[in-house]
Amino acid sequence: MKKYNTSPLSGMQELLPTEQAVFDQLKQNISDVYHHYGFLSIETPIIERTDILLAKAGGDTEKQIYMVSKTAESADSADQALRFDHTVPLARYVVEHNNDLAFPFQVTQINRNFRGERAQRGRFREFYQCDADIIGREKLPIAYDAKVIACIYDALETFKLPKMLIRISNRKVLAGFLKSLNLSEKTSEISNIIDHAEKVPVEKSTAALRELGLSDGQVDKVTAFMFTRGNYEEIEAKLKEIMGNTESVTDGLSELKIVFDILAKKGTGNCIVDFMIIRGLDYYTGTVFEIMLEDYREIGSISGGGRYENLASNFTDQKFPGVGGSIGLTRLFFVLREYNLINIETKQPVDYVILPISKNEYEASFELADKLREQGKTVDVDLSDRKLGDKFNRASKIAKYAAVIGNDEVLSGNYQAKNLKTGEQTPLMLP
């Protein structure tokens, strides 16, 4: 009889061991690629000062933040809360440790964050984010934007997903474009409409633009702009068509061109310029990008990020420009399972289970296990005193192979591994 509700709290991911092994493998894949690109790992505390977390945040974030009450023993003076992303702690970290860091600082954080969002299927309150950021001191060349995009794309490639599409924009292009239309002071409202355009019929977007007081001509141009996508040459031509003279967007366009050139040289996937990509409102100042699955648009973006002019402006007067991106792994894992899109070798967590017939075979079993471990295999030795059938039953739930060790095997030194799926027996090769 259960005495308590033992389910995890709502909004928390909790996996069975075989599922966890897949999740961990995906996380490891991302981490490996980030490291191969030279990103350095850091880990900041999950609990932070509330004033640090809320220095910039407003609205939703404040409502969703988990406050932590200090215990009697740890009566710090500061109010404390759980971090809701990696960016704010990274900003604090860079300011705190900037004298000990080598800039450009290529940094990765793969860890859990917390937001008390409304409960909803596929929405998590505790979730992994896999961030890769490059932080400069004073300045950071635009080429790094391409590096972050290439790195995150390569990380996702290890997932063996169906066709991915990288959509890249640059906020400076939008800013210049709106300036040319004398709409600069409506930038944030228009950005917001573009940001949501993908999810609504086009009439709804144009109606919203008209409501903002745009003339028919302006509505047409903004609409044409936001549907502008293609390779760099295509969009450059299209922009000229819409704007006539593209001088006011030169800066953003030349940044886009550099990013595109590098991605082309690196041979990074399928990239398009796509001015519908906005990535929220306040934060990004240049490059913005999203990666999606071409044939599963309803999933939305599976990763995104961009360039920010100043990481830590809330904490210091020093300037730390940066570019970064993130994979929201907990949500992504959930969605990929829903769509049955996880094709990585879902290896069972254990390679071999060794089944000694009696205590007399323990020594030989341990020796065999150690030899297999030296080969990098994961090996469980079943020491329970249950029937062999029960042991096989357990083994087949967690492992690929089982090896029964009885007196004969010990005497002959001939060990056989049984494939637990096919039943096939093969000799265990030992060095």
- Window contacting its own copies (CB under 8 A); options: 219-227, 244-252, 320-328, 366-374: 366-374
Q: Is 293 helix (H, G, I), strand (E, B) or coil?
A: strand
Binding window for its own copies (CB under 8 A); candidates: 118-126, 177-185, 198-206, 248-256:
118-126
Q: Which amino acid is at 105?
A: F
Which residue, 10 or 422, is less far from its own copies as judged by CB? 10
Using the rule CB under 8 A, give the single segment among 64-72, 196-204, 235-243, 287-295 that binds its own copies: 64-72
Paired strand residues for 409: none
B/e letters for 240-269, b = 16+ CB within 10 Å, e = fewer, are eebbeebebbeebbebbbebbebbeeeebb
Q: Is 9 helix (H, G, I), strand (E, B) or coil?
A: coil
- Residue 143 touching its own copies (CB under 8 A): yes
Tokens of 299: 């999933």
Closer Cβ to its own copies, 187 or 396, answer by number: 396
- Classify residue 103 as exposed, middle or buried by CB count within 10 Å of its CB (0-12, 13-18, 19+): middle
Binding its own copies by CB under 8 A: which of 59, 74, 244, 413? 74
Taking residue 305's Cβ as centre, other Cβ atoms within 10 Å add up to 24
By CB under 8 A, is residue 1 in contact with its own copies?
yes
Under the binding rule (CB under 8 A), the answer on residue 430 touching its own copies is no
Interatomic CA distance for residues 230 and 273, integer angstroms = 5
Out of 125, 172, 186, 331, point to the residue binding its own copies (CB under 8 A): 125
Question: What is the rounded CA–CA span in Å between residue 122 and residue 300?
Answer: 13
Query: Which residues, 259 to 278, sit near its own copies by CB under 8 A?
Result: 262, 265-266
Instruction: Give the number of other CB atoms < 10 A from CB of residue 424.
Output: 10
Q: Which two tokens stand for residue 359?
A: 């205590």
| Sole binder of its own copies in the list 95, 212, 242, 344 (CB under 8 A) | 95
Paired residues of 426 in beta bridges: 417
Question: Would you count residue 341 as binding its own copies (CB under 8 A)?
Answer: no
Residues 96, 368: Cα–Cα separation, whole Å: 51
Residue 85 binds its own copies, judged by CB under 8 A = no
Supply the DSSP symbol for 8: P
125 vs 167, which CB is nearer to its own copies?
125
Indicate the length of the chain as a whole number.
431
Does 131 help bind its own copies (rule: CB under 8 A)?
Answer: no
Using the contact rule CB under 8 A, the part of the chain among 117-125, 203-211, 271-279, 410-418 near its own copies is 117-125
Interaction of residue 290 with its own copies, rule CB under 8 A: no
Per CB under 8 A, which region of 14-22, 180-188, 288-296, 401-409 contacts its own copies?
Answer: 14-22
141 near its own copies, rule: CB under 8 A = yes
**Is residue 165 near its own copies by the rule CB under 8 A?**
no
Dihedral of alpha carbons 91, 195, 336, 12, sign? positive
DSSP letter assigned to residue 72: S
Does residue 63 touch its own copies according to CB under 8 A?
yes
For its own copies, the binding residue among 196, 229, 257, 377 (CB under 8 A) is 377
| Distances, alpha carbon 216 to alpha carbons 182, 220, 281, in Å | 14, 6, 25
Contact 249, 176 (CB under 8 A): yes
* Footprint (CB under 8 A) of its own copies, residues 380-419: 380-385, 394, 397-399
Single out the segment in contact with its own copies by CB under 8 A; choices: 68-76, 200-208, 236-244, 401-409. 68-76
